[in-house]
Amino acid sequence: MDILAVREIKKYFFAGTGLWGRPARAIKAVDGVSLTVRRGQTAGLVGESGCGKSTLGRTILRLFAPTAGRVLLGGEDITDYPPARLRPLRRKMQMIFQDPLAALNPRLTALAAVETPLRSYGQGKEERRRLAREMLRVVGLNASCEGKYPHEMSGGQRQRVVVARAMVLEPQFVVCDEPVSALDVSVRAQVLNLLRDMGERLGLSYLFISHDLSVVYYFCDWVYVMYLGKIVEEAAREEIFAHPAHPYTEALLSAVLLPDPGQKRVRIILQGDLPDPLNPPAGCRFYSRCPYAVPRCEEEPPLRELRPGHRAACWLH
Amino acid sequence: MADSSQPPLLEARNLRITFRRGRREFAVVEDMTFSLAAGQTLCLVGESGCGKSVTGNAVLGLLPQGSGRVAGGEILFAGRDLVALSAGEMRRIRAGKISIIFQDHAASLNPAHTIGRQLTESVRTREKVLGRGVSRREAYGESLALLERMGVTSPVWRMRQYPHELSGGMRQRILIGMALAKKPLLLIADEPTTALDVTVQAQILDLMSHLRRAMDTAILFITHDMGVVAEIADFVLVMYAGQMVEYDYAGGIFRNPLHPYTEGLLRSIPQPGRTGERLFAIEGAVPDLENLPPGCRFRERCPYGRPLCARMPPVTQLETKQVRCWRFAPGGEKIEA
């Protein structure tokens, strides 16, 4: 059973309104992506900055209106729901952001921050307070933190508040957008463990967006690799790490630096940067940086199944 | 713990750096001693606020004016104490001998000027400080050659572009180029790849190690990323709350970490191929430098904590390694008993 199914979703942004009525140029941030998240599982979405992974996360939660495609939450097509109909559903789907300092209102204490989302769902004041307190304990913040403002807390504490605020509504599906990238190394493991514990406790499903493959390997059951608005490869965790098929996945994996100086591996160093999304290359989008490029790559490769469950968009396979 | 075969190029001895807040002055770096020889890379590793960037900035006299100062110890560069230098002498050192690159590549370039103007200006300023003159044309030529050396594509066109028109990797490459243009003896690299994507990080690290081999530059590399450390370090100095806790060859740090903080840091990193149920996590948080507990600064988070740790542990030398922990201090057991 899938908690989330996304079908051929697109999100285009338009760069200005064209001069003299000329049509504006479209930035195809997400360009036809399909993915599913199974109930109780974690899907990872990996890619470099600017590849559209955050836009995809936000479009799934309907923080952006999709340009095309469908979003199904628990089998229910929510793509065209007006805000009023989305509101009760927002309880079921929450988001955890990268920068806790930016995500928290600087004028709300930890307790108030966690209590606020409950206001939309009709509990009384006492009940809200009780639930918020309880959730703060669950995420490992003691009573002395309740009255603290974001600037008085450490990075790890702030991210715990953000997690508590998302979890207090007992959601079914949570999008985590780089939840540990802004945290210090020793705190990262604490927050990852917390997310895993919360997942088990509430039977949650996650879409975990990250550029850090080692974190994705630890956290995710299924991995999607995104490049310039498209999924280029997807597979189960073990499969994709053991047998990456797309040259981009291969390069990403080889760029992971392991904390072990003895383990010198052959590193694939990609040339150049992510192409300008306003002018994506025709054909395969990875063509310009691909070490194995052949003439056929001027034609766009489809996402094809290589083995059951393992799909990649590359002519090499 | 320097390699004794080479004289050190940079040496810090009992360095103490303080910051002032209101009337209070507190130490952000204490009792730091390290050395670095030509062609070697020393990594300062630690979390935000541990004093690693402050240490790097202090070498170039870049502490915030009025609030930060070197309150004790010395920083010797080729035998001269940098702390005692006048502003003019320090400028000459910065112009000719020591370079620095920062994490924030966007803030390190002026958004209002083209890349070409900034590069040529930096070349001309440098030559002026060093008492040499260089024409605009010569400076332009040098800048262009530098972009080419850094692997920047279509350099003539890049010279006319503004920083916002370039990607982060491109900007960082230009800054590294600017920093290395004068063939410095020492490069201080303060988290140069932290803001970059992994594939671009791989490009930049590759470029840096290539340039290091070509020029024999010593690098003081500041980072929090143990993966980056494993990639480039010859020596590693692990910092915690303003102090050195462990200092060794890179191999010694990764294969035989002794300090409980180093050990915890390495164990808490998720690694492909290892999917245990839970990650090892160092519980708690870094202490506030303004209100440090007495004794060992890691005590409250340490799984091996014991009563003796209420006293500041001494630095113990064990073969190539230095470690600040009572578990390895000779006689530590006896003192406790």
Is residue B337 very low, low, confident or very high in pLDDT (cuts 50, 70, 90)? very low
Dist CA B150 CA B160 (whole Å): 17
**CA distances for A291 relative to A240, A250, B85, angstroms:** 19, 11, 50
Judged by a CB distance cut-off of 8 A, whether residue A192 touches chain B is yes
Cα B221 to the chain's mean position, in Å? Answer: 4
Closest-CA residue to B136 (of B177, B161, B181, B128): B128
HSE toward the beta carbon, residue B317, CA cutoff 13 A = 5
CB proximity under 8 Å: A 234-273 to B: 237, 241, 251-263, 267, 269-273
Residues of chain A found within 8 Å of residue B226, distances taken between Cβ atoms = 185, 259
A155-174 residues touching B, CB cutoff 8 A: 155-157
Task: Kindly state whether residues A219 and A308 are assigned to the same domain.
Answer: yes
Strand B321-324 to B98-101 pairing? unpaired
Is residue B263 within 8 angstroms of chain A, CB to CB? no
Does any domain span residue A99?
A: no
Together in a domain, A63 and A185: yes
Q: How many domains does chain A have?
A: 2
Q: What residues of B are in contact with residue A48 (Cβ under 8 Å)?
A: 197-200
Show the domain range for A176: 2-92+171-312
Helix (H, G, I), strand (E, B) or coil at B8: coil
From the list B227, B231, B285, the residue facing A154 with the nearest CB is B285
Is A264 found in the same domain as A189?
A: yes
What element of type H or E holds B336?
helix B332-336
Establish how many alpha carbons lie within 13 A of residue A214's alpha carbon, considering only the half-sphere containing its beta carbon. 22
**Does A270 or B138 have the greater pLDDT score?**
B138
How many percent of chain A have pLDDT more than 90?
66
CB contact under 8 A, B286 and A217: no
Task: State how far the Cα of B20 lies from the Cα of A41, in Å rounded to an integer.
Answer: 50
β-bridge mates for residue B249, sequence order = B235
Of B116, B113, B171, nearest in space to B143 by CA: B116
Chain B residues in contact with A255 by the CB 8 A cut-off are 198-199, 201-202
pLDDT at B38: 93
The answer to whether the beta carbons of residues A205 and A40 sit under 8 Å apart is: yes
- Asked if residue A56 is part of any domain, the answer here is yes
Touching A: B residues 121-140, CB under 8 Å:
none
- Classify residue A317: in a domain, yes or no: no
**Regions of chain A where pLDDT drops below 50:** none
**Contact B49/B35 with Cβ under 8 angstroms?**
no
Sequence-ordered list of residues with C-beta below 8 angstroms from that of B107, at least 6 positions apart, any chain: none
Transcribe B184-217 into DSSP letters: -SEEEEESTTTTS-HHHHHHHHHHHHHHHHHHT-
Question: Mean pLDDT, to the nearest integer, of B39-50?
Answer: 92
Reading the block at residue B255, the tokens are 């294969």
Transcribe chain A into DSSP letters.
Answer: -EEEEEEEEEEEEEESPPGGGPPPEEEEEEEEEEEEEETT-EEEEE--TTSSHHHHHHHHTTSS--SEEEEEETTEE-TT--HHHHHHHHTTEEEE-S-HHHHS-TTS-HHHHHHGGGGGGT--HHHHHHHHHHHHHHTT--GGGTT--GGGS-HHHHHHHHHHHHHTT--SEEEEESTTTTS-HHHHHHHHHHHHHHHHHHT-EEEEEES-HHHHHHH-SEEEEEETTEEEEEEEHHHHHHS--SHHHHHHHHHPPPS-TT---------S-PPPTTSPPSSSTTGGG-TT--GGGGSPPP-EEEETTEEE--TT-
Q: Do B230 and A267 touch (CB under 8 A)?
A: no
- Residues of chain A with pLDDT > 70, as a percent, come to 96
Q: Which residue of A has its CA nearest to B265?
A: A186
Q: Is residue A100 part of a domain?
A: no
B315 three-state secondary structure: strand
B233 part of contact set with chain A, CB < 8 Å: yes
Structure tokens at A112: 């108030």
Q: Within a domain: residue A83?
A: yes
Look at residue B148 in the predicted model and tell me its pLDDT: 85
Among A170, A193, A221, the domain boundary falls at A170
Mean pLDDT computed over B176-183: 83
Domain edge (last residue) among A128, A145, A170? A170
The answer on A301 and A254 residing in a single domain is yes
Q: How far apart are CA B192 and CA B220, in angstroms?
A: 11
* The pLDDT value given to residue B193: 87
- Pick B230's closest partner by Cβ from A257, A267, A273: A257
| pLDDT attached to residue B129 | 87
Subunit contact A274:B167, Cβ cutoff 8 A: yes
With left for phi above 0 and alpha for psi between -120 and 50, is residue B78 left, alpha or beta?
A: left
Same domain, A47 and A159: no
Regarding whether A200 and A271 lie in a shared domain, the answer is yes
Which of chain B's residues have a Cβ under 8 Å away from the Cβ of A270? 199, 202-203
On whether both A69 and A159 belong to a single domain, the answer is no
Chains A and B: how many Cβ contacts under 8 Å?
130
Nearest of A283, A303, A304, A305 to residue A294 by alpha carbon: A283
Q: Cα–Cα distances in Å, from A242 out to A48, A73, A238, A245, B166?
A: 21, 31, 6, 10, 35
Q: B29: part of which helix (H) or strand (E)?
A: strand B24-36
Is A110 found in the same domain as A18? Answer: no
In terms of Cα–Cα distance, which of A118, A156, A158 is closest to A134?
A118
A185, A256, A260: residue with CB nearest B265:
A185
Distance from CA of A288 to the nearest CA of B (A): 13
pLDDT band at B2 (very low <50, low <70, confident <90, very high): very low
A130 touches chain B (CB under 8 A): no
Give B215-267 pLDDT, tens digit per residue.
899 999 999 999 899 999 999 999 999 999 999 999 999 999 999 999 999 98
Alpha-carbon separation of residue A23 from A16, A229, A278, A281 (angstroms) = 9, 21, 14, 20
Residues A67/A246, Cβ–Cβ less than 8 Å: no
Residue B285 to residue A156, Cβ atoms within 8 A: yes
Among chain A residues, CA nearest to B256:
A260
- Interface contact flag, B199 A218, Cβ < 8 Å: no
CA B40 to chain centre: 13
Q: Which helix (H) or strand (E) holds B173?
A: helix B168-180
The answer to whether A153 contacts chain B (CB < 8 Å) is no
Cβ contact B272–A215 (<8 Å): no
Q: Do A185 and B266 touch (CB under 8 A)?
A: no
Give the C-alpha separation, A235 to A239, whole Å: 6
- Rounded alpha-carbon distances, angstroms, from residue B115 to B80, B127, B162: 34, 18, 6
Query: Are residues A300 and A255 located together in one domain of the fold?
Result: yes
CB B327 within 8 A of CB B304: yes
> Residues of A142-158 as b/e, b for ≥16 C-beta within 10 angstroms?
eeebbebebeebbbbbb
- Predicted local distance difference test score (pLDDT) of residue B126: 87
Sign of CA dihedral A194, A196, A202, A207: positive
Give contacts of A 11-70 with B, CB under 8 A.
48-49
pLDDT tens-place string over residues B283-299: 888 888 888 888 999 99
pLDDT of residue B295: 93
3-state DSSP of A173-200: EEEEECCCCCCCHHHHHHHHHHHHHHHH
| Domain CATH code at residue A58 | 3.40.50.300
CA distance B241 to B29: 8
205-224 in chain B: CB under 8 A from chain A:
206, 224
Query: Phi and psi (nearest 5°) for A231?
Result: -80, 125
Are A52 and A194 part of one and the same domain? yes
* C-beta of residue B181 within 8 angstroms of C-beta of residue B121: no
Q: Tally Cβ neighbours within 10 Å of residue B36.
A: 24
A217 touches chain B (CB under 8 A): yes
- ipTM comes to 0.80
The residue among A170, A195, A219 that closes a domain is A170
The answer on pLDDT for B18 being more than 80 is yes
Distance (Å) from the C-alpha of residue A72 to the closest C-alpha of chain B? 31
Residues from chain A that touch B201, judged by Cβ atoms under 8 A, are 255, 257
Residues A22 and A69 in one domain: yes
Domains of chain B, CATH where assigned: 1-97+186-286 (3.40.50.300), 106-183 (no CATH)
Assigned domain for A291 exists: yes
Q: Is A302 a domain residue?
A: yes
Judgement on whether residues A83 and A110 belong to the same structural domain of the protein: no
Closest C-alpha among A44, A88, A40, A37 to residue A176: A44
- The end-to-end CA distance of chain A, in Å, is 30
Residue A97, in any domain of the structure: no
Contact state of A186 with B273 under an 8 Å Cβ cutoff: no
Rounded to whole angstroms, the Cα distance separating B188 from B58 reads 11
